[in-house]
Amino acid sequence: MCVQGTPPIEELREWQRAVRAQFPIITGHPEHAYLDSAATAQKPQAVLDCVQTYLTTTNANAGRGTYPWANRTTALVEQTRDRVRRFLDDPAPEQSAVHFTSGTTEGLRTIARDWLPLLLTDGDEIVVPLADHQANIAPWQEVQQELSRRGTHVRLLPMPYQQSSGDYDHIALADLAGPRTRFVAVTHVHHVYGGNMNVHRIREAVGPDAVICLDAAQSIGHLPVSVTELDADFVVFSGHKAMALPGSGAVWARQTRGPAFTPGGWPGTPNTVGIASLAAALDWLDAAGTDRIERWTVALAARLTEGLRHLEAYEVLGCRNSLAADSPVQQREGIVTFRHRDIDSGDLGFILFSHGFMVRSDNHCQGSAGERTGSVRVSLHVYNTVEEVDQLLTALHTLG
């Protein structure tokens, strides 16, 4: 989807002001602009309150004791599974599983370790997105190697990307995928380019039987994620990027393509406070409206991209077409990554912090087919403002 120029966001200004006011770390530090939400998101007061309330009224282990705090904690864990299902627009909750993890990395690794070997047989193929986050590459490569040691040979097909935008090339994928393509790992929103990776086109490209595993680390909390619409079989995300506590996260598994997902081993004590924070965060996000959050952050990203294309010294990554003067600004889900012609990206990160901007600067854990040199990533969330973007552009302009 493309956005022509900078979309109107005036109508969201009042709403955004009220939403921003709910983030104490943001309002408490007006001298800083936090522009690193793709690394981790800040927490609204409702999540902070929920954590405080849980720990001061209910804290107990789950699934063990029979006294009221323990029962309430057990119920909280089960209710949060349903909360995740509702948040993901699960069409058949009785046929899905929700498994809590410490985040996306552990979630993807659990699928790779405990489930994928049950699906694959000799001669099968898996599609792996080699220019995405390492967390969505390494586990699949490891499965392939482990299976090969056991005499099962699985082909790893590199996901094709579109040169101009960095999105997946679903037409090339349709040519690549055949009847032995059993598993396709995809990312909803790219953590460097910010592109919405056309994942709604993946089902059509790979056919009705392949399992689609969605890394939603950068989309949960930023835009509506509907498993009904995407026809995904796994959705994996991190709580901390979705306004819950670090160490929380989930795998949602559809359970109707391939063997049932039942992660093995004794699970130990769940992260109950993290799970409580996740339920509160999903409530908060639904109340704020992920559709509005998306409109806001897409508009800010478009404004930043548009501003950067007038600054000659900068190259914006992943969306090269958008830099041509007359081309539309491609939709970026709140993430814009760029380099300066002469200034090292690490140095640029330090310089920007001296102006109050907190950004990420390195090569962003991208896989082997990704960018080889560092860059600066600005990642926006609902608490960021038009003024912050304009001040950033002014600071970037003064650097030449």
Binding interface with ligand PMP (CB under 6 A): 38, 103-105, 133, 135-136, 187, 191, 215, 217-218, 238
Burial of residue 355, with CB atoms counted within 10 A of its CB: 0-12 exposed, 13-18 middle, 19 or more buried: middle
Shortest separation between residue 105's beta carbon and ligand PMP, angstroms: 3
Give dist(CA 83, CA 114) in Å, integer: 24
Shortest separation between residue 104's beta carbon and ligand PMP, angstroms: 4
Give dist(CA 51, CA 65) in Å, integer: 21
Shortest separation between residue 236's beta carbon and ligand PMP, angstroms: 8
Nearer Cβ to ligand PMP (138/157): 138
**Strands of the 97-100 sheet, one edge to the other:** 97-100, 249-253, 234-238, 211-215, 181-187, 125-128, 155-158
Q: Which residues lie closer than 8 Å to 3 by C-beta, 6 or more apart? A: 298, 299, 302, 328, 329, 330, 331
Shortest separation between residue 373's beta carbon and ligand PMP, angstroms: 19
Amino acid at 331: Q
Nearer Cβ to ligand PMP (135/230): 135
Shortest separation between residue 72's beta carbon and ligand PMP, angstroms: 28
Nearer Cβ to ligand PMP (217/275): 217
Shortest separation between residue 162's beta carbon and ligand PMP, angstroms: 18
Nearer Cβ to ligand PMP (105/110): 105
Nearer Cβ to ligand PMP (258/370): 370
Q: Which residues lie closer than 8 Å to 321 by C-beta, 6 or more apart? A: 164, 165, 327, 330
DSSP tag of 12? G
Please report the sign of the dihedral spanned by the C-alpha atoms of residue 384, residue 390, residue 395, residue 400.
positive
Give dist(CA 384, CA 13) in Å, integer: 11
Nearer Cβ to ligand PMP (26/216): 216
Amino acid at 60: A
Please report the sign of the dihedral spanned by the C-alpha atoms of residue 65, residue 71, residue 73, residue 75.
positive
DSSP tag of 324? S
Nearer Cβ to ligand PMP (136/361): 136
Kind plus residue range of the DSSP H or E element containing 53:
helix 45-57
Give dist(CA 162, CA 333) in Å, integer: 17
Amino acid at 358: M
Shortest separation between residue 217's beta carbon and ligand PMP, angstroms: 4
Token couple for 80? 């949060």
DSSP tag of 34? E
Shortest separation between residue 135's beta carbon and ligand PMP, angstroms: 4
Shortest separation between residue 297's beta carbon and ligand PMP, angstroms: 15
Nearer Cβ to ligand PMP (134/162): 134
Nearer Cβ to ligand PMP (134/255): 134
